[in-house]
Amino acid sequence: MIKKIIIIGGGPAGLFLCEQLLNKGYEVHLYEKMPAVGKKFLVAGYGGLNLTHSEDIDSFSNRYSNPQFFKKIISNYTHDDFRQWCLKLGVETFVGTSGRVFPKKMKAAQMIISWKEKLKSSSRFKLHTHCQLIDFDDKKVFIKKENEEIIQEDYSILVLSLGGASWSKTGSDGKWSQIFQKKGIEVSPFRAMNSGFEVNWSSHYKSKFDISPLKNITISFKDLITKSEAMITQYGIEGGGIYALSSDIEDEIYSKGKAKITIDLLPQFSLENIKELLCNKPNKISMSNYLRKKFKLGKEKLNLINECISKEEYSHNLAFSLKNIPIILTSTRPIDEAISTKGGVSFTELEEDLSLKKYSNIYCIGEMVDWHAPTGGYLIQGCISMAKWVCESIIQR
Ligand X SMILES: Cc1cc2nc3c(=O)[nH]c(=O)nc-3n(C[C@H](O)[C@H](O)[C@H](O)COP(=O)(O)OP(=O)(O)OC[C@H]3O[C@@H](n4cnc5c(N)ncnc54)[C@H](O)[C@@H]3O)c2cc1C
d(CA 263, CA 250): 17
User: CB-wise, 162 or 356, nearer to ligand X?
Assistant: 162
- Name the β-bridge partners of 260: 328
**According to the binding rule CB under 6 A, does residue 11 interact with ligand X?**
yes
**Closest separation between CB of residue 331 and ligand X, Å?**
19
Residues between 174 and 193 that touch ligand X (CB under 6 A)? 176
Under the binding rule (CB under 6 A), the answer on residue 17 touching ligand X is no
Sorted by sequence, the CB contacts under 8 Å of residue 92 that are 6+ apart come out as 86, 103, 104, 105, 106
Q: Is 243 in the site for ligand X (CB under 6 A)?
A: no
Query: Is the Cβ of residue 40 or residue 301 nearer to ligand X in the bound state?
Result: 40
CA distance 187 to 370: 8
Residue 36 Cα distances to 41, 48, 211, angstroms:
11, 21, 35
Length of the chain as a residue count: 397
Is 332 a binding residue for ligand X by CB under 6 A? The answer is no
Output 26 or 167, the one with its CB closest to ligand X. 167
For the purposes of burial, counting CB atoms within 10 Å of the CB of 290, is it exposed (0-12), middle (13-18) or buried (19 or more)? middle
Nearer to ligand X, 159 or 199 (CB): 159
User: What CA–CA distance (Å, rounded) separates 305 from 217?
Assistant: 13
In whole angstroms, the minimum distance from the beta carbon of 264 to ligand X comes to 26
* 50 vs 226, beta carbon nearer ligand X: 50
Total residues contacting ligand X (rule CB under 6 A)? 38
Residue 23 φ/ψ region, left for φ over 0, alpha for ψ in the -120 to 50 degree band, beta for the rest: alpha
Angle between helices 108-120 and 12-23 (to 10 degrees): 30
Closer residue to ligand X, CB minimum distance, 190 or 221: 190
In the region spanning residues 19 to 48, those forming contacts with ligand X, defined by CB under 6 A, are 31-34, 39-41, 43-44
Least Å from the CB of residue 163 to ligand X: 2
The least CB distance from residue 167 to ligand X, in Å, is 4
Residues 254-293 that bind ligand X (CB under 6 A): none
Q: Confirm or reject binding of residue 106 to ligand X (CB under 6 A).
A: no
**CB neighbours (10 Å) of residue 24?**
12
Q: Considering only residues 115 through 174, tell me which ones interact with ligand X, judged by CB under 6 A.
A: 132-133, 161-164, 166-167, 171-172
Residues 6+ apart with CB under 8 A from 352: none
**Where in 333-392 is the site for ligand X (CB under 6 A)?**
339-340, 366-367, 375, 377, 379-380, 383
220-257 burial by CB neighbour count: b if 16+ within 10 A, else e?
bbeeebbebebbbbeebbbbbbbbbbbbebbebbeeee
Q: Is 13 in the site for ligand X (CB under 6 A)?
A: yes
Termini Cα distance of the chain: 8
Residues that bind ligand X (CB under 6 A): 8-14, 31-34, 39-41, 43-44, 49-50, 132-133, 161-164, 166-167, 171-172, 176, 339-340, 366-367, 375, 377, 379-380, 383
